Structure 1
Amino acid sequence: MFTPEDEVPAERVVETLEVLLRTPPFVRSPKLARFLRFVVEEELAGRGTTIKAYTIATQALGRGPDFDPSLDPSVRVEAGRLRRALEEVYAQHAEGVEVRVSVPVGGYRPRFGTMEAAPDIAEDAPAPEPGAPPPRAADRPAPAAVGFTPRGQAAVIALLAGILLVLCIDLGLTLSARMGGASAVPRDIAVRGR
């Protein structure tokens, strides 16, 4: 759960920005790091309304003054990459990151919120008594759901479709071999029976 944006002190946002920039997605991509730093610093400086594709391209991504966002989708593409990188950081590298920075779809202005800690179910559960049988499956807490990115979902679907295709081909070949000339009674049995 997030607290409203105006309750996050600017100092905490700046500290979080520096932590984010040291995570693998931003270390691997200096362009994404410049994009993130630019939009966060502009928002904190009170210039959030000027964060547009043109300003990002010319001031953060090194494009020339002739950049035309209606002809060149590069800022939109980089914004999508930035959103995915932020999702990855908060999913895999969020240790010690208390402020969540997001860039909502449809714009480039960042939003800031703090994550309230959720209670750990395992800590609240009573310890089993020595010698007691293990809890039944219905009594155990459900495992956390594993989320997939759209690319991960596509990969899983493609893998399952490939497996299904192989099984269908195998079944077809097996049926074809059985029906295509093989008699119901094997020859050696029919010969011995005479």
Structure 2
Amino acid sequence: MKLKNNSIALFGTSADPPTLGHEALLSELTKIFPKVITWASDNPDKNHQIPLLKRTQLLRILVKKISHPKLELVQELSSPRTIHTLKKAFQLWPEASFSFVIGSDLAMHVPKWLNAKSILSKVRIAIAMRDGWPISDVQLAEIKKLGGKIEILPFTIPESSSSKFRERPQKVLIPKELVPLLLEENLYGLADNRK
């Protein structure tokens, strides 16, 4: 993948909560892109278990743990709508070329985004393959039909998902640095076994 120096990877996530999958993705992106920007946001297609403010706090802990000079949390990009996020990104980095990063599980949703055609004319869609979520040629064709330029990222993300954690909270699915806050504030019903 040949990238220009002004390439920025944009990765918005519900971070409900951030998992080892998020950590792996952000770490891998820093190996490829000159700059990686992340933020927590509300997804209009999901019911979030904890408020955005708390999810942002958890994502901030994860970004601090990764502690890479190319990685930054820019919460002001947060919006339930990608088109609004991009508008802000273009204001902040007018010279940049953007790759909007999604997991392979979300590829089927791209054509249904509000203003999908307009979004796809402005950014590349960078798809991170997630274990257990193959992508079909039909899904890729749908994005391309709307004018989308697609990059399949050269790594695979482990299966640990936020929804799996919410169904059955287990410390092994999340970065250990998040555990103290989850226990302290009794988030997600994670059992405190410290006697």
Q: What TM-score results when the alignment is normalised by the length of structure 1? A: 0.28
- Counting helix residues as a fraction of each chain, which structure ranks higher? 1
Larger-gyration structure (1/2): 1
Higher strand share: 2
TM-score under structure 2 length normalisation: 0.28
